[in-house]
Amino acid sequence: MRVKIVAGNWKMNNDKEETEALIEALKSKGKFTGVQVRIAPTSVNLVQAVNATKDTDIKVSAQNMHYSSSGAFTGEISANMLESIGVNSIILGHSERRAYFNETDADLEKKVAKAIQHDMEVIFCFGEELNDRKENTHFDVVEKQLKAALFSIQPSDWKYIVLAYEPVWAIGTGETASPEQVQEMHAFIRQLIENQFGKIVADNVSILYGGSVKPANAQEIFSKPDVDGGLIGGAALNADDFFAIIQSA
């Protein structure tokens, strides 16, 4: 069944004490109803986050991992390592990883396959740049990104996949895609999945929106029929704002 999810991508923010404080502040908000919550702290604070969220309904995601199991990949983290500390959710394909760390569609296809092998949830990010939208090629760009990384998986593997449409021009800019633009793209994405994998897969996959989601705009975006929650950056660093966004889902 399709679920509502609100995930906080903390990016390279929050040291050990700040991680602890933010998790405690979130925990103090009580239970979340009708929505699943994820937080994605930086890798050095994952163990701490897993421990601090035990016995809560907050699940911890990692922000990146390598597609190999182990080996000479200085600075990288493997799926086995994440699994061994109790992390079984991963954000892959974020536009910042694609832009600043040269992550390619081919890398992502391998990372997705590795995550699935490890029974890990994949929050798969994709989205067009401003120029693509100006040139009206945003649907083509999104289709290409999804096909390259996800169309080689089995229909049964879609239970691991959460999609996160994040137009690059809306990330950290304060500029949000309009609820109509988001719905239009999400409906397009769901149709693409249906064409390739069938209606049941398409109906069941959660499609999140990310890009300058705030308490003030969350409810309107999340009310659209093909929007199943959000992937939140800046506003996830504040417990009150994040909680307000969670409650909007």
53, 60 contact by CB (below 8 A) = yes
Stretch touching ligand 13P by CB under 6 A, among 53-61, 141-149, 215-223, 226-234? 226-234
Interface segment toward ligand 13P; rule CB under 6 A; list 126-134, 178-186, 190-198, 227-235: 227-235
Question: Shortest distance, CB of residue 10 to ligand 13P, whole angstroms?
Answer: 9
Q: How does strand 5-9 pair with strand 229-232? A: parallel
Residues 132-191 that bind ligand 13P (CB under 6 A): 166, 171-172
Select the residue interacting with ligand 13P from 62, 141, 189, 232 (CB under 6 A). 232
Rounded-to-integer distance, Cα 136 and Cα 111, Å: 29
Give the C-alpha separation, 175 to 157, whole Å: 34
Contact segment (CB under 6 A) with ligand 13P among 76-84, 137-145, 207-215, 238-246 equals: 207-215
Closest approach, Cβ 109 to ligand 13P, in A, equals 20
The C-alpha atoms of residue 75 and residue 55 are separated, in whole angstroms, by: 31
Q: Judge whether 166 counts as a catalytic residue.
A: yes
Q: Can you point out the beta strands (E) in the chain?
A: 5-9, 36-40, 58-60, 89-92, 121-126, 161-165, 207-209, 229-232
**Active-site residue identified among 96, 103, 128, 166:** 166
End-to-end, the C-alpha distance of the chain in Å comes to: 16
Cβ pair 139, 102 in contact under 8 A: no
Which residues ranging from 10 to 69 are in contact with ligand 13P (CB under 6 A)? none
Q: Is 127 in the site for ligand 13P (CB under 6 A)?
A: no
Size of the site for ligand 13P (CB under 6 A): 14
Shortest spacing between CB 121 and ligand 13P, in angstroms: 15
Question: Please, where are the H alpha helices in 76-137?
Answer: 79-84, 95-100, 105-117, 130-134
Q: Catalytic annotation on 96?
A: no
Residues binding ligand 13P (CB under 6 A): 9, 94, 166, 171-172, 210-213, 231-235
Active site residues: 94, 166
